[in-house]
Structures are given as structure tokens and as C-alpha cells.
Amino acid sequence: MTAESAIRVQGIEKSFKKLAVLRGVDFDVAPGSIFALLGSNGAGKTTLVRILSTLLKADAGTATVCGFDVATQPGEVRESISLTGQFAAVDEVLTGRENLMLVARLRHLKNPGAIADGLLARFSLAEAGNRRAATYSGGMRRRLDIAMSLIGTPPIIFLDEPTSGLDPQARIEVWQTIRQLAGQGTTVLLTTQYLDEAEQLADRIAILHKGTIIQNGTLAELKKLLPAAQVEYVEKQPSLEDVFLALVGDTGESDDTDSAATAPVGKDLR
Ligand SMILES: Nc1ncnc2c1ncn2[C@@H]1O[C@H](COP(=O)(O)OP(=O)(O)OP(=O)(O)O)[C@@H](O)[C@H]1O
Ligand SMILES: [Mg+2]
């Protein structure tokens, strides 16, 4: 991998029939960093992840992952990444250990049993390793899913809403795993709707809204977009949630009208 961006997205567009979901998306992700993509339901986060992981073709624009073009070098891209999709992809009939061994075999690795045991221990699943995944809790299933995606130590990992549906404890465990990964040099692109998740984890945060990235920066940079509110003598720092809702509007789903609820972005907010 070059010292340049681990992921580079330039002018990506994607429509489903008349629905223009991505209308020119641009961003870069530095190697070894955690990049969070925020957006409301239907903003196009999963669509973008599917394009970057070669599961879907863009209509326009270019994207490189690990220096490889997703359109013209999909095989090389797939060798460089792993994807944990929005919905856990574990095989329920198999045990946790068998799920891990299956992926190790598919990746043609030696000693799949030893790889499986190492990951079970690392993800606190050793005791449950020989139980069918159907009996796992949501958090255990998620941890197994992420463990499966680490097999073969890909340099770039995509996590689409890695903690949706998890209880706070399980979320914290997944966060620790993600931090460890980045600490070891893995580049992580995650999508999330949990703003505190982005605050906790991300080196950079980008907000996808109405088909484009409307803001991209560090947490500190995003917080500077809103002035600190003065309430008598108490100074309140805006949370990332305040910034997000001001940028996106607090109506949830994006709508056709550019409603007045959507605050102006960028320097205009000062
Ligand atoms: N294969 C498809 N065919 C038609 N429309 C699609 C297809 N995939 C996605 N869409 C539409 O594109 C839009 C973006 O969907 P996408 O799944 O990328 O959103 P998202 O940001 O991941 O949302 P969520 O937070 O709910 O996961 C939605 O309106 C969705 O209905
Ligand atoms: Mg999604």
C-alpha cells in the first residue's frame, strides 16, 4: 500500500431508477485511521459501502481501495478488504468455531482450527465456541461476525452499522475491538447512526446527506461549526448530535423540499 489514502472516493454517483442516492461523493481515508460515515436512514451509506466492496457498480466517479480501482481491479480490492454487513452473516447451523474455520478455509489459510481458537479467545467466545451460532445472543453474533471478517488480516475493513441492536455493554466491547484493529494499522470505515459511536471512535467523521458529503472533519472541527451556546454564565459545548441535527435537519428521513429546518452548513453557521 502506498503512503497515500487507503480509500479514495471521487465523484461517486449512483441511482436506482429515478432515485438519485449518491450524487457525487468525495472523501479520502488515511491508512490506519477510523473513518465514520454518518447519515439518516436511506442516506446511501450501505450503497456506498457496497460500491467500495465491489458488490455494486457506481454510475459515475472513481474509487480506489488500497490503491486498487473498484471498477477495474475488483479482485485486488476484494483481497485487500473485509466487509461486515449491516445484518450479521454468520451461519446459524454451524458452531462459532466452525464458522471461523469455514472462512479460514475459504481464504486458503493453514491451521484453520488454530486460527478459529485464537479468535474465539480474543472475542470472549471461547466457552461458546462449540455451540451453534443460532443459540448466540445478538452481541455474540456480532462479535463472531467481526471475528470472521478479521481472518486473513485484511488491511481495510468495512463495518456497516457494527453495533446496531447491541446493548451498551456489547457496544463497548465492539468499540474496543475496532480501536484495537486501528491500533494495529488496519484502516476502518464504519457507518453508523449512533452519533456517540462516531464521537468515541472516529478520527474523521463525514456526514452523507441528500447524496453528497456535506461535512467532513475531525470531531473538534465539526464541533466548531456551531458556536458554543451561552446560557447565562454556563457555557455549553455543542455535542456532535447538535452539529448533526443542525446540518441534516431533525426530521429524520430526508425529504423533497429543502426545508427551513435544515440549517445552512459550513462557515454560514457561525
Ligand atoms: N437495490 C436497490 N434497488 C432500489 N433501491 C435501492 C436499492 N438499494 C438501496 N436502494 C435505495 O437507496 C436508498 C439508500 O439506501 P441505503 O441502504 O444505501 O441507505 P442507508 O444509508 O444504508 O440506510 P440505513 O441507515 O437505513 O441502513 C434508499 O432509499 C433505498 O431504498
Ligand atoms: Mg444501511
Over residues 50-109, the pLDDT tens digits come to 999 999 999 999 999 999 999 999 999 999 999 988 777 899 999 999 999 999 999 899
Indicate if the pLDDT at residue 143 is higher than 60.
yes
DSSP labels, 80-104? HEEEE-SS----SSSBHHHHHHHHH
Q: Which atom of ligand 1 is nearest to the CA of 39?
A: 21
The mean of the pLDDT values for the chain is 87
The domains found in the chain, sorted by start residue, are 7-90+136-265 (3.40.50.300)
**Cα–Cα distance between 194 and 75 in angstroms, integer?**
32
**Cα–Cα distance between 76 and 72 in angstroms, integer?**
9
Helices then strands, each counted (H, E), the chain: 9, 12
Query: Hey, whose CA ends up nearest to atom 3 of ligand 1?
Result: 16
pLDDT score at 234: 64
Could you give the 3-state DSSP secondary structure of residue 166? coil
pTM of the model: 0.82
Q: How many CA atoms lie within 13 A of 49 on its CB side?
A: 27
Answer yes or no: is the C-beta of 21 below 6 A from any ligand 1 atom. Answer: yes
Which numbered ligand comes closest to the C-alpha of 45? 1
Answer yes or no: is the C-beta of 266 below 6 A from any ligand 1 atom. Answer: no
Indicate if the pLDDT at residue 225 is higher than 90.
no
Which of 3, 33, 4 has the alpha carbon at shortest distance from 190? Answer: 33
Answer yes or no: is the C-beta of 45 below 6 A from any ligand 1 atom. Answer: yes
Distance 46 CA to ligand 1 centre (A): 7
pLDDT score at 231: 60
DSSP labels, 220-255? HHHHTTSPPEEETTEEEPPPHHHHHHHHH-TTSS--
- Positive or negative: CA dihedral 102, 108, 110, 115: negative
Answer yes or no: is the C-beta of 188 below 6 A from any ligand 1 atom. Answer: no
**Cα–Cα distance between 62 and 66 in angstroms, integer?**
13
Answer yes or no: is the C-beta of 87 below 6 A from any ligand 1 atom. Answer: no
pLDDT for 93-102, tens place per residue? 999 999 999 9
Distance 85 CA to ligand 1 centre (A): 13
